[in-house]
Structure 1
C-alpha cells in the first residue's frame, strides 16, 4: 500500500474509476486543465484544480451551481505562483452556493477566510490545512452543523475565535502544526469532540486544563502542551485523563527549560501525578518534564497496554521507572535525560 507523508493512499483501477463515473453521472465533476466546460445544474460534487490564469473563471462557473454540496479546490504551482483565493473571490462564492456541506481549500494560497463563510449554514466539513491563514473570523462560530474542522500545518494560526464553544456539533478538530497559544475558555463544552490533536495550556491560563474534563469521547492521539503553566494539581485532576478510555496516544510536554526552585519542581510532580491516563493507553510521550521524580502511575502496572514510551528532556530524574512492568512495550526512547543513574528494580 503506497504511503506519502506518513499517510496511506489507495490506487483505484481504471475500470473501477470508469464505473464510478458512470454510476455518478452528472452529479460529480472533475475540473482541471485549461478548459472549463459547462457545468450541469444537477452537479453536486466538484473537484477543481486552479492555476494563475483561469482560477477566477473556474470559480465563477462553479458559483452558478447553487445546489452544489461538495467543493474540493486544489492549487496548481508553488508559493506565489499559485492562484490566490482572495476575500472578494470567497464573498462571491459563499453568497451563491449556500447549500455546501463540504468545502476544502487544503494547500491553497489562502491567507484570510471571508466573513461570508457564515452563509454556509449547512457546512459539515471544512478543510483549511496547509494554508497561510493567520486567524479565523468570528462568523465561523455560527456554523452550528460543522462537524470537522481541519487546520493542520496552518503555522501562522495563533488563536481560535472566542465564540468557538458555539460549534456544538464539532467532532473532529485538527490543530497539529499550528501555533495556537491557548485554547478558548469554554472549549470543554464541545463534548461531541472525538478528535482533538492538540490542547495548549496558555501562559497565565493554567486553570484552563480543566476544560479537558468533559471531553471523554476523545480518541486517537492527543498532545497537551504548556503544562508548565498549570499551577494547581486540583486543576490537573479536573482534566480527568483517567476517564478517556478511547485515547490511544498521549503526549505531555512542557515549555523551554529554565531553572526553577524546589517548590515549583515538587508542584510539577504533583501535577503530573494528577494527569494519570487511562489504562488503555498504548503510546506515551513525556517531554521536558521538570519534576524530580516520575509519577507513580508510570509503574505499578497502571499502563499494562503500553507499546511505546518516550521520555525526552526530563533532566532532573535520577531513576527510571521499572520498565519490566510494560509487557507489550516495543519502543523505548530516552533522550536528554541527563540525570538518570538508576533503572527500576523490576525488569522482567
Structure 2
C-alpha cells in the first residue's frame, strides 16, 4: 500500500462552501459508485468499512464519488482499510471546519487522477484552458483533444472520436466534469477541479482573465476570458508565446478588440493547431490564413463572416471546420474538396445555396450538417456516394434538383451504417417533379437509422421500403 500512501497525500486543502449531503444520501451516492450496482449487504465487512469512509467524506459529493470510483469493484478488505486509515489520519484535524462549511481537498482528486492513463491525464490537463463553471460541449472538447493530437488507439481499430468519447466518459465518471445546471447539454468543471487542472498542466496552459496574465514562452494553449484587456495586452501575450498551439476566444463580450489587428497578430503564430474566434465580429478571413500549415481546428461559429477565402483550402491538416450559425454565409470555397483530412464540416444554421463540386473527395468526412443538391454548377446528390463515414444526422436539401432516380441511387444511403437521423427535403413549390417518388424510392437508408423526416414531399405514395419490417422501429415525421 506504499503507492496508495503517496496518492492520498492530503497536503493541500482548499475551502469551499457547499451544502453537504445527508447520511442517507451520502451512503446511497457512495454505494452507487463503490459497489457497481451490487448489493453492499453481500459484503458485510466492506459495508462496515464503507460507512466509516462515508463519514470521513463529510457529505462531499466530490469526495464520495471520487473515492467510490477508486474502490469500484475492489473487494479486498485490505484495500478499503488502507483508504479509511489515510482518511482518518489526514482529516481528523479538520473536524471543527466541518459544521456548515465543507472542506474539500485535492487528495480525492489526486487519488482519482493518479489512476488515469497517461493519455487521459494529458486530456484533462488541456481542460485547464477552461475557467471553472465555463460551459463546454462534449463533442467540441473531443475535437479539441483530437486537434491537439491527444487521441490515439493503441489497437488501431477505433475512430479518434470514439477514443475521445471514451476518455470523456472516464473523466466524467471520476467527477472531473459535471453536467451544467443551466444547460443540460453542456458540462462544467467545479472550482476545485479547475484549480487542480491548472496545477497539473504546469505553465503550458494560460487563461487571460481578471487574475492577470501569466503568459510565458512555454505557453502552448491560450484562452481569452476578460473584456478588460486591451489589445496591447493580447498582442504582448501573442508575441511572448510564439510557439502557441491553441488560441480560444471564450469571452463573447470582447468586441472592442479590433478584428483586423487581432488577425494580423495571430498570423505570427506559425505552429497554431486550434483557432477559435466564435462570436467574434469578423466578416472575412485574410488570405494569409493559408500560412497556418498545421491548423487542424477552426471555429468561426456565430460570426458575420460572409465568405471563406480560397486559401482556406490549402490547410491540408484541417480536421474540423465549424461554421454553425454564420447567417451571412451562402457558399463554401470552390476547392474545399482539397481538404482531404477534413472530418467535421459543421454548417448548421447557415443558408448555403448549394454544395461545391467534388464533395465526394472528402472521404474521411464524418459530420456534415446538411447537403444542398446543386442544380447545375455544384455537387449532385451522387457525390454523397463517396462519403461513407458520415455519422449522426444528415439533411439532404433541394431534392427537386435530382435529375434521375439513378443519381439518387448512387448516393448509396443504404451503405451509411452510422447515420442516426436522415432528413429529406424538397422545396415548398406547387410544381411537382415527375420523378419525386422514384427518387425517394432510391434514397433508402440503412436499417440502423433511428429517425427519418421528409419535408415538402409531394408524392402521392411513400416508397415500398418504408413498409419493410426492418424499418418498423424507425421514428418518422
What TM-score, normalized to structure 1? 0.81
Write out per-residue CA displacement over residues 263-321 of structure 1, whole angstroms, 9 at most, x where no aligned residue.
x34x1000010110001000111000121211111112242441x211xxxxxxxxxxx
Instruction: Select the residue among 35, 54, 60 that pairs with 2:235.
Output: 60
Report the Cα distance in structure 2 between the residues aligned to 1:226 and 1:173, rounded to whole angstroms. 19
Partner of 1:330: none
Contact 1:28 1:44 in 2 (8 A): yes
Is structure 2 residue 336 aligned with structure 1 residue 164?
yes
Which aligned pairs between 1:165-244 and structure 2 lie closer than 5 A?
165-204=337-376, 208-244=380-416
Instruction: Select the residue among 296, 301, 322 that pairs with 2:469.
Output: 301
Compute the displacement of 1:244 (Å): 0.3
Compute the displacement of 1:17 (Å): 1.6
Instruction: Select the residue among 255, 271, 274 that pairs with 1:82.
Output: 255
Partner of 1:133: 305
Change (3 A) 1:229 1:156: same
Partner of 2:129: none
Is structure 2 residue 282 aligned with structure 1 residue 98?
no
Which aligned pairs between 1:1-348 and structure 2 lie closer than 5 A?
1-2=179-180, 8-33=185-210, 37-49=213-225, 51=227, 54-64=229-239, 65-77=241-253, 82-83=255-256, 85-94=258-267, 96-204=268-376, 208-260=380-432, 264-265=433-434, 267-306=435-474, 308-310=475-477
Q: Secondary structure of 1:213's match?
A: helix
Report the Cα distance in structure 1 between the residues aligned to 2:233 and 2:213, rounded to whole angstroms. 9
Q: Secondary structure of 1:223's match?
A: strand
Report the Cα distance in structure 2 between the residues aligned to 1:289 and 1:283, rounded to whole angstroms. 16
Change (3 A) 1:86 1:18: closer
What TM-score, normalized to structure 2? 0.59
Write out per-residue CA displacement over residues 46-79 of structure 1, whole angstroms, 9 at most, x where no aligned residue.
110363x6442233123211100111013443xx
Compute the displacement of 1:255 (Å): 1.1
Contact 2:392 2:421 in 1 (8 A): yes
Compute the displacement of 1:109 (Å): 1.2
Give the RMSD, CA atoms, in angstroms: 2.0
Write out per-residue CA displacement over residues 164-197 of structure 1, whole angstroms, 9 at most, x where no aligned residue.
0110000011010111111110111000011111
Contact 2:203 2:216 in 1 (8 A): yes
Report the Cα distance in structure 1 between the residues aligned to 2:310 and 2:377, rounded to whole angstroms. 21
Compute the displacement of 1:4 (Å): 5.9
Going by fraction, where is strand more abundant, 1 or 2?
A: 1
Compute the displacement of 1:15 (Å): 2.1
Report the Cα distance in structure 1 between the residues aligned to 2:238 and 2:466, rounded to whole angstroms. 56
Change (3 A) 1:118 1:67: same
Q: Secondary structure of 2:386's match?
A: coil
Contact 1:281 1:305 in 2 (8 A): no
Structure 1: 5+ residue stretches without partners: 311-348
Compute the displacement of 1:93 (Å): 1.5
Change (3 A) 1:73 1:162: same
Going by fraction, where is helix more abundant, 1 or 2?
A: 2
Change (3 A) 1:238 1:9: same
Contact 1:155 1:179 in 2 (8 A): yes
Compute the displacement of 1:84 (Å): 5.1
Q: Secondary structure of 2:187's match?
A: coil
Structure 2: 5+ residue stretches without partners: 1-178
Contact 1:75 1:108 in 2 (8 A): no
Change (3 A) 1:239 1:54: same
Q: Could you say which structure has the larger radius of gyration?
A: 2
Q: Secondary structure of 1:188's match?
A: helix
